[in-house]
Structure 1
């Protein structure tokens, strides 16, 4: 019989994977909303600029701002609509997340444990209000919305100003802002704002998922021993997450057996973080369960051991060279393959990725040791 902790790790990895796919779909719908408004925005911009005769020599920022009032209004509606969609999706997702963890543990934990430690749930309002009132990557969701609105308007204003100074037609200015249809509108100045909106949406969903997990753990901490960081094993994994893969932390985020700080934790440590964590339950003895309350197989499944699996660093050593180059870059790859340096040496004991300048200092030593 596989242990509860082994099953738990598998389920949480799968949950993180599918949550990531969900966040991608939400981001795409947000972009669709923005794109629908961008057509109206560009049309209004062209009409406005055609109606305003501005001498280049008399062109001022004040006159520009006055002429773009209608465009500013449309831009605000666009961003408000996109973030309204995101907020509603997050509220619905909060309902799902608040039920996911109790359901998972109700299914995995033996009846003897559940009788002694009945699961405590969290409410939708508790979770949603926490998510909306706690910043991620330094800002609240409402602040990210305001920032995106301002960023888009700045890009529009700068493009109009430069277009006038360069003698561009109003149609050309509109195309520079929105992009060309045959390019999927990805060549306009608003494309970066679309990318930013995607990043915000995916990070917000990840923030919600991590908050739901934290609140469930806090409400049921008596059954847990610790938590273990799980990083996605592919060539897009960030350096901050690579070194934390499989490391253990206390329930309040203190390192266990290492010095790498927890920081904001998996799913929150950086934009688009795909890391998650598994929760390690205590053994049946640590929970104070009587021997006769469980059969031998059930007791074995509640051994309290941390699941063993391949670490990221062990995994990367088995990968083809092209992937190792993608992950570490040419200089680190060369040091690893020709200088005999293990990938773990690319990090400090605090989990910081060693800079290329620092690598230069150990470069000659590495090749000296190997006689190269």
Structure 2
């Protein structure tokens, strides 16, 4: 694993090496989020949208939308809207089950990764107590983020989809549009923003933010279960150039393990935290420095904050290639700043691929 640990050098402190490994891990997690959101959106694109558009075009074709509204028209529209609500609820429920399943896998992977990484980097044997399956279930299903638990966020999203489509149908009828034009109003075109693309953006934001929440809360359980090893918690917001002002202002700050702000601080937040590992003395080990032949000292000092560009510059070529792709990495080594290409390039990863990259 030496390729992933070179930013601070072989004589770095343990906390510097933990930060180094965490930054690379955060990029891997962002790639997982990209794949996760694409899989969720693909399900809705394939299973929900065609169903809704088919119903709308088929049922509206049997209603004279250009004529005056009659009780018969209202009855048929009410039936259409009930059908839209029912199908939306059904497919969104299926999608939520998929999302919960992937979030549980993410929680398990995070619960495995952090203790394994600390053990790999520590010059002495450190064994962290991990969360139980029940604790991970609670994180995914019952811990609130951004003001609500996942189920309630998802129900709100479901209502938003239903309302957006119904409003599009009503506006289309009011403007005398035919069923196909109303379907285009929902689907969207290259020149006309549609209802569905806006709802897709909401789904993606929720999936990504829920992932950040699960990652953060899994770490919180690990910190709480290992108070002797984790002396403090450091906020990390060095992932890329799109970091918000709020997160950037917290980057590198340390807090007591049970205090301070925790990600996600906003929708699509990519910040995280790292544990500040206690010194030899704090752990009851009668040593001032790392024993001969070990890789990292354990002085308990907090790792210095580092920007993503600084971190990536210190990595070997194979890590730069992995983060950016071979062509961009070559340009980066030649002096092209990270702002030119890092903000949007996170190729998707599955949980299995994430585990393989992190060797957990």
**TM-score band, normalised by shorter chain:** 0.7 to 0.9
**Which protein has the bigger helix share?**
1
1:49 aligns with 2:60: yes
Matches within 5 A, 1:220-239: 220-232=226-238, 234-239=240-245
Whether 2:182 is the aligned partner of 1:169: answer no
Task: State the secondary structure of the residue aligned to 1:227.
Answer: strand
Q: TM-score, normalised by structure 1?
A: 0.74
Q: Distance in 2 between matches of 1:27 and 1:33?
A: 10
* DSSP 3-state at the match of 2:300: coil
Does residue 295 (structure 1) correspond to residue 291 (structure 2)? The answer is: yes
Pair 1:150 & 2:147 matched: no
Range with greater deviation from structure 2 (302-311 or 290-299) = 290-299
1:86–1:50 Cα change, 3 Å: same
Task: Provide the aligned C-alpha RMSD in A.
Answer: 3.1
Count of residues in Structure 1 that have an aligned counterpart in Structure 2:
305
| 1:137-194 deviation digits (Å, cap 9, x = unpaired) | 11111111111111111111111111111110011101111224xx4x9832111110
For each residue in 1:320-368, what CA deviation from the matched residue of structure 2 results, as whole angstroms up to 9, or x when unmatched? 99x7xxxxxxxxxxxxxxxxxxxxxxxxxxxxxxxxxxxxxxxxxxxxx
Contact 1:56–1:164 (Cα < 8 Å) also in 2: no
**What is the CA–CA distance in structure 2 between the aligned matches of 1:221 and 1:186, rounded to whole Å?**
55
Superposition deviation, residue 195 in structure 1: 0.2
Give runs of aligned pairs for residues 180-219 of structure 1, distance below 5 A: 180=189, 183=190, 187-219=193-225
Instruction: Show the 5 A alignment for 1:1-372.
Output: 1-36=11-46, 37-53=48-64, 55-58=67-70, 64-111=77-124, 113-114=125-126, 118-180=127-189, 183=190, 187-232=193-238, 234-253=240-259, 262-263=260-261, 265-266=262-263, 268-291=264-287, 295-296=291-292, 298=294, 301-310=297-306
Q: What TM-score do you get using the length of structure 2 for normalisation?
A: 0.76
After superposition, give the CA deviation of every residue in 1:181-236 in whole Å (9 maximum; x if it has no partner).
xx4x9832111110000000001111110011100111011112211111135431
| 3-state secondary structure, aligned to 1:222 | coil
User: Which secondary structure does the structure 1 equivalent of 2:156 belong to?
Assistant: helix
Unaligned runs of 5+ in 2: 1-10, 312-335, 340-360
Aligned residue for 1:307, secondary structure, equals coil
Q: How big is the shift at 1:299?
A: 9.7
Separation in 1, partners of 2:254, 2:74: 55
Q: Give 1:361's aligned residue.
A: none
